[in-house]
Amino acid sequence: MTDRCPRPRDVATAWMAAVVAGDVRTAIALSAPSIVYTTGQARRYEGHEGIHDIASDFNRLAGFLTVSVEGEILEDGGVVALRRIERYTVPSGGIEIRGCSFVEVEDGVVTRWADYKSMESIDVIFG
């Protein structure tokens, strides 16, 4: 039997599923202690505490926000690109925000997550 690391795409998709499901324990288990998460230039989270905060936020938003990974998953080396759709439920209906997450995987854990999305549809509704 060999001790081989899982494929980066498998780690990235399992990690993303845990984060957006609010599964703090699994998200942290799949994260390097030094993980860095950035949302464009708006926010920066670091370490397991940052992942705890993000996953907890997703857990609190359950029923109001769903996130799915759709389309082709691209991988180059240890960098995985995931196309995401965030669906928000608001009193006036629903809002979809499309984005892309770049997840870096090293030695079987996520070391960096950079998220890019357009907030234009939210700005149109909420100004």
For the segment 53-102, what is each residue's pLDDT rounded down to a tens digit?
999 888 888 888 999 998 888 999 999 999 999 998 888 788 888 999 99
Question: Which amino acid, one-letter code, is at 41?
Answer: Q
Mean pLDDT over the full length of the chain: 88
Question: Which amino acid, one-letter code, is at 61?
Answer: L
Q: Assess contact for 37 and 107: CB atoms under 8 A.
A: no
Kindly write down the DSSP assignment for every residue of 21-45, as one continuous string. Answer: HT-HHHHHHTEEEEEEEEETTTEEE
Domains and CATH numbers, the chain: 8-126 (3.10.450.50)
Q: What pTM did the predictor assign?
A: 0.85
Pairing of strands 109-117, 31-39: parallel
